[in-house]
Structure formats: C-alpha cells, structure tokens
Amino acid sequence: MSRSGAGAPRGRAAALPSMPALLQIENLQVHYPGVAGPVRAVDGLSFGLERGETYALVGESGCGKSATALAILRLVEPGWIAGGRLWFEGRDLLELREREMRAIRGGRIGIVFQEPAAALNPVMRAGSQVAEALRIHKRLSRKAARAEAVRLLGVVALPDPERQARAYPHELSGGMMQRVMLAIALSCGPALLIADEPTTALDVTIQAQILALLRRLRAELQLTVLLITHDLGVVAENADRVGVMYAGRLVEEASVARLFAEPHHPYTRALLRSLPGGSGATAGRRLPTIPGSVPDPASPPPGCRFHPRCPAVFDPCARREPAEIEVEPGRRVACFLHDPRAGAAGPGTGP
C-alpha cells in the first residue's frame, strides 16, 4: 500500500500545498517485540486528516488502528515506530525532541481512550485531573486552573460541575468519566482530538449522549477528530471519511456516504454484510460471515493479506501486494480487482 508514497493517492491534499492537511501520515510502520522477531502492527499506512473533518479508522482487534493512534502521540512502548513520517501542523512529529512532544500531547493533540476508568487517576479528584493538564500546558495558577477546570466540566455537560469536580472517578458513572476525559483532552485547546473507541464501554443511551457531545464540541471548537472504532454504525452517523484497516494496512478509504453505498474492497463488503441490521442480514436467519479468522500479525500471509479469506481471490493476490489505486477522486482501494494492470475482470465491483 504505501510504497507509492503517501501524497500521491490523496490527490487533494498533495496538490494544494497552500492548505496542507492537519495531519498527514506517510508510510507509517509500527513494530512490537514478538517471540520470533518484530511484529508489524502497522505496516505502511498513509492517510491524511483535513482540518475540521471527522475521519474514522475502522477494523478488527489487532488491525493496527489503536497502534496508529498511539503512534501519532509517540506512545507505542514497548513497540517502536520503525519508519514513516507524521506531519502535523507542518512539523514531522517523529523529528521532535521528547520535550517538544510532551507539549503536543495533551496540548495540540488530545486523546480519549476506551476505558475512562483505567485512564483516570483513581486517587485524584476529577477537577484536579483537568486542572493538572491546565497547570502543565498553560501554566495557570492553582486557582485559575481550578476555575477553568469547573468551566470545562460544564462545557462537556457534566451535571453540577462545581460539585462533581470534587468527586473521585469511582464515584462517577462510565459516561460521566468519559466526559471528564473529554474535558482533559480539550483543556488546552487541541487542534486534533483522537477518540479511541470512546463509547465502546458505554450503554447505548449513554453512547448516544457522548457522540452528540463530540459532534457539538467538534463544531464549537473547530476540532479535527480521528475516531477509532470497530462499530460501523457509529462511523455511519458520525464520520465524514473512513479508512478501513486490515492486518496493519489500509485496504480502502472513501467518504462515508460512498463507502456504505458502494464498498469496493472485498473485506469492506464482507464486513458490512456480516453486521446484524446490515446489508446482508435478515432477522431469524444466519448472518453472512467471513470464513476463517484474521491473520497472526507475526506472520501475515504473502501478497494481499486478505487473500486467504477473500471470496474474489485470483492469481495475483497471493503473489504480489496490491498497490493502492485511486478509483475516483478521494477514494482509494488496495485490491487487484480494481487495478486495471492486474488483468482482472475489470475495475468494476467484482463478483
């Protein structure tokens, strides 16, 4: 996917240097230590985030979507970033000193994790955790930071922020803890908010509240959001563009409307069909499934990583890695079915 370079497939961003993407990831490689050598969790990933958009990165556990989020913050230990470029506001994050990087984490880039209970300090009051970020990044006085923390807890619609600021995390519900996490992430006026499965641990009615809050904050604060999730329902209602990852690579990227209307990659198609309530589901019947299971990232199959499970597999798939093809403006697919040079049935939609 990647060797063709990151700029090329995303024509829009590359052609207009006057308005660069907020974040441009080029050929990112993230490795983790494994028993038999490094495991390539992310293997040549390129995509960009336009200012003000919500970009969803979707895929199954182990596809590398969370590793990508952590790589943007340079927090991949015990793994390491083995290659690539992470352009953010004109600078390559991988070139920065650790001290400069610390100013970016929680400063220009905020992050919200899946498990707020694990991310918050259990022995520190909610308000103090918000204030801590303000004291470090904005060098506010203790008193000013506390006042600002209460204000921010109000912004994220925590009920009775004055009182809840004094609560410890265990006294708050999951939804309230996620609001506190959001207040911390937003405290220093970030340009980019990374939301890594922000609602996966929450009940649906609370999930709907948090997603609505995210949409409101994005509009009010002109945020760019990288939304990481495995729930395509959440993607459909909340993102502008979507990148589908499989086994460490991006297999398809499109606007949300186009991806759901006409998925190109066989993996994306199978993913959408297998959802209860999705295109292939009929109540009271078996669901369409994808045979087999995701490959072990320590030893991915040769060629296209999806080929052993792909219903449309043909001769080049096992031998070569599919290049990224820009099938229409703003839309790319890494599949030989869409590669006119591969001599497949043609660049149509395949079987």
Partner 1 sequence: MTGAPPLVATRGLRKAFALRGGRWGGAGGAAQAVRGVDLDIGAAECVGLVGESGSGKSTLGRMLIRLIEPDAGSIHFDGVDLLALAPRELRRLRRQFQIVFQDPYGSLNPRMRVGSAIGEPLAIHKLVRGAAERRERVARLLEQVGLDPAAAARYPHEFSGGQRQRIGIARAIACSPRFIVADEPVSALDPPVQAQIINLLFDLKEQLALSYLFIAHDLRLVRQICDRVAVMYLGRIVEEAPAAELYREPLHPYTRALLASTPTPRPGPPTPPALAGEPASPASPPSGCAFHPRCPIAEPRCARTTPPLLAIAGRHKVACLLVGSPDSK
Select the residue interacting with partner 1 from 256, 323, 333, 334 (CB under 8 A): 256
Can you tell me the distance from the alpha carbon of 145 to that of 149, in angstroms, rounded to the nearest whole number?
6
User: What does the angle CA 244 – CA 249 – CA 254 come to, to the nearest 5 degrees?
Assistant: 30
CA-to-CA separations, 29 to 39, 44, 68, 81, 167, in angstroms, rounded:
10, 5, 9, 6, 41
CA dihedral (270, 272, 276, 277) positive or negative: negative
Residues 32 and 41: beta-carbon distance below 8 Å:
yes
Residue 288 near partner 1 by CB under 8 A: yes
Q: How far is CA 288 from the centre of its chain?
A: 26
Q: Pattern of binders to partner 1 over 59-98, x per CB under 8 A?
A: -xx-------------------------------------
For tokens 């403006």, the residue is 329
Residue 211 near partner 1 by CB under 8 A: yes
Select the residue interacting with partner 1 from 27, 207, 224, 268 (CB under 8 A): 207
Residue 35 near partner 1 by CB under 8 A: no
Can you tell me the distance from the alpha carbon of 3 to that of 18, in angstroms, rounded to the nearest whole number?
25
Closest separation between CB of residue 98 and partner 1, Å?
34
Q: Pattern of binders to partner 1 over 97-136, x per CB under 8 A?
A: ----------------------------------------
Residue range at the interface with partner 1 (CB under 8 A); choices 38-46, 74-82, 85-93, 199-207:
199-207
Nearer to partner 1 by Cβ, of 18 and 282: the residue is 282
Closest separation between CB of residue 277 and partner 1, Å?
4
**Who's near 285: CB < 8 A, 6+ residues apart?**
none
Write out the residues near partner 1 by the rule CB under 8 A.
Answer: 60-61, 159, 170-171, 173-176, 203-209, 211-212, 215, 230-238, 256-257, 260-261, 270-272, 274-279, 281, 283-290, 293
